[in-house]
Structure 1
Amino acid sequence: MKLLHTLRPQSILYLCFACLTLFFASCGDDNNPVIDDGKPVNKNANVVTTDKAVLRLEFPALKKTGRQQVIVYRVSDHKKYDNDHVNYAVEWDCDKKSQRWSCYQMHLGYTGKYDRVTPNNNKYPQDPNIATEDRYDDVIYRSGFDHGHICPNADRKYSYDANYQTFYMSNMQPQYSKFNGFSDDRKNYGLWARMEIQLRKWVDNLGPKDTIFVCKGGTIDDEKNIIKRIDGKLIVPKYFFTAVLRKYYINGKHKYIALGYWCDQTNSYRTNETIKQHCMSIEKLEQLTGIDFFCNLPDDIEANVEKNYNESSWKWL
């Protein structure tokens, strides 16, 4: 197993899963697996190597084959919401030279003055922690596709650094404008854009101790789930997904509910379709994506929230 780790604002785990040793942290908070009488109750929890961030609830199970790089972006001014200063994280596939997912947390008050921080020369920066041979140059530019933020810059407005980090190419997937954006008069929004807006509406209604855990991405692992490759290189996903876990408090105790979102990417606004039409249980989303979401939950809670999706539990605005 090859491992890289830095102490810069971004910490990196470079994982080639040839051999893994299992460690569990004994802690009772949301970002560590639960231990019961010295025995882990998270049988499918992620492995801890040098960064305990992989045990956070927003993380899915890390891919165990091929060459994967897990990048955890941190900012120094994030202490208010996150003791580990985590902004968001990405799993980068070094062989496909594409990101598999971005995951992050949302709390009440993730607002601020920083919105669409403009990168230098209006160019999307490459993540300096990804080797040149493991990534492509920016082939999205002038390809007919947008630079689709997977962790949206609009979800990270509380600081300059947090917003800037969302512009890394490692957080991008090629998306059609009419899927990812909106019309000039803002009367029509794409299905992906509508889902992101809905997430922010849910966050606005959270309690002070509530959290939404998010994992989002595009399909890169199966040829039938790929539209094309730009210049014969960068994958354009045919489907995009969102896994949402909501933790909320009732009578001093926290509970969890979850939903999955799965939508085919087309170059049209599809105003006759609703977000609800594309929502499902996490269990079904896992079957479609092949990804084990929210694996760091205790097994009994994980099984319950992933199997049960109740539309009435979510406020559709």
Structure 2
Amino acid sequence: MSKTAQAINEASWQETFKALWISALRLVQRAREPLEGPIPHLDTRLCMLLALIPLAIAAILKEETDACGAEGNKSLPRRLGLVSSLQDLVQYSGLLVPPSSLVNVANAAASKAAIFRANCKVVGGNPSMIGQSHSSTKAVGNMLHLIVEACISRNLIDTTAYLWPGYVVLPGHSKNTSLPQESPWVNFMQGAPLSDPLKNALIATPASSVAELDKLYHIALNGSEQEKSAAAKIVCGASLVRGWNIQEHVVRMVVKLLSPPLPSDSSLQGSMSHYLSQKSTLNAILLGVSYVDAVHIFSLYGMVPDVAASPSLMWRPDHNHLSRGNHLTTLRTRI
């Protein structure tokens, strides 16, 4: 659709990409309007802005790269158009104001860029020599910082974006001497058990890499009953609704967990018995994805047919193997 719009309008790729960003930013801003109803569906709209549009642009850039046979070439017209479109967004300050629930996340993204710039100056402008800073520089963030992070995570642009004029805004150049808060995913990857405090922290914090998701998936399939339930709740938490940089992987993982692989024991193949071993995972997944925004996110990724066709949804809720309550019926209704 983006390619069609670009051709019909006889627009440059810079103009086309800019139109995509502005349209999605306006969609996010609509969540503030009371006419949208009691449920603003902000997470669905952020999914469009910070995940689906970067993925669409990634496909467009890959097509150009493959055709030119110059993978990674930063001078290709479409890639230059993307960079230019992002730089132009600075002038739309009204559209870039983050929703209240995203202020801290946007400020963290801006502070990350501020630290990069500060370190770059220390090492004489050589990005290859930049190390981690032990202090956090406060910076004022907006939606552009989140867009740039989404693009960097998918290798559409690189960290030289942090050096763009006007990208980093420091409030009085103040310093925060406290250490940045460590992500709970670091402890998880280091082998910490899924205790209630760590589980709750992981539910509230999006994963940052596919490696973290892979480890979580392994636990959801092979852990103890308690670990399976915890892993399923984590994957349906912030990683699903606000893990924009890895969201497409989370969505596919949830669908895979709804269709757990058959066991190696041939006597169980062809029956539904093997689902009993995954009942904790399936129960937590069905509960976690049964609310409206989650179903909308699956719809945006085109995965509703995959969810609806999942073998676990073929079980009747009154079997009570998978579900206590009505969340399975709710999910079926919403799908």
Quick check: which one's strand share is greater?
Answer: 1
Q: Which of the pair has the greater relative contact order for Cα pairs under 8 Å at 6+ separation?
A: 1
- Shorter-chain TM-score tier: under 0.3
* Bigger Rg, which one: 2
Q: TM-score, normalised by structure 2?
A: 0.27
Quick check: which one's helix share is greater?
Answer: 2
